[in-house]
Amino acid sequence: MTVVIGRAKINLTLDLLGKRDDGYHELMSVMQSIDLFDRLIIRPSSELSLGMSLRSGVSKWLPQDERNDVMRAAHLLHKQCGVSCGAEIFMEKFIPTQAGLGGGSADAAAALIGLNKHWKLGLSDEELRDFAAQLGSDIPFNLRGGTALCRGRGEIVQPLPPLPPVYVTLFKPPRGLSTSRIFSTLNISDFEEGTSLKFVDALLSEDACMFDFMSNQLQETACNELPELFEFTRRLRDEGVPWWQMSGSGSTIFVLAKDKEQALRYRKDLAPLYWWSFATKTSDKGAELR
Q: Output Rg (C-alpha) for the chain, integer angstroms.
A: 19
DSSP 3-state assignment of 186? coil
Active site residue 138: yes
Active site residue 125: no
DSSP 3-state assignment of 165? coil
92 burial class (0-12, 13-18, 19+ CB within 10 angstroms)?
A: middle
**Active-site hit among 93, 107, 138, 172:** 138
Q: Name, in order, each residue with C-beta under 8 angstroms of 152's C-beta and a sequence gap of 6 or more.
A: 26, 27, 137
Whole-angstrom Cα distance, residue 6 to residue 76?
18
Residues 74/42, Cβ–Cβ less than 8 Å: no
The DSSP letter of residue 206 is T
Work out the end-to-end distance of the chain between its first and last CA atoms, rounded to an integer number of angstroms.
11
DSSP 3-state assignment of 14? strand
Whole-angstrom Cα distance, residue 218 to residue 16?
8
**Active-site hit among 9, 15, 107, 172:** 9
Whole-angstrom Cα distance, residue 31 to residue 204?
15
Instruction: Show which residues are catalytic.
Output: 9, 138
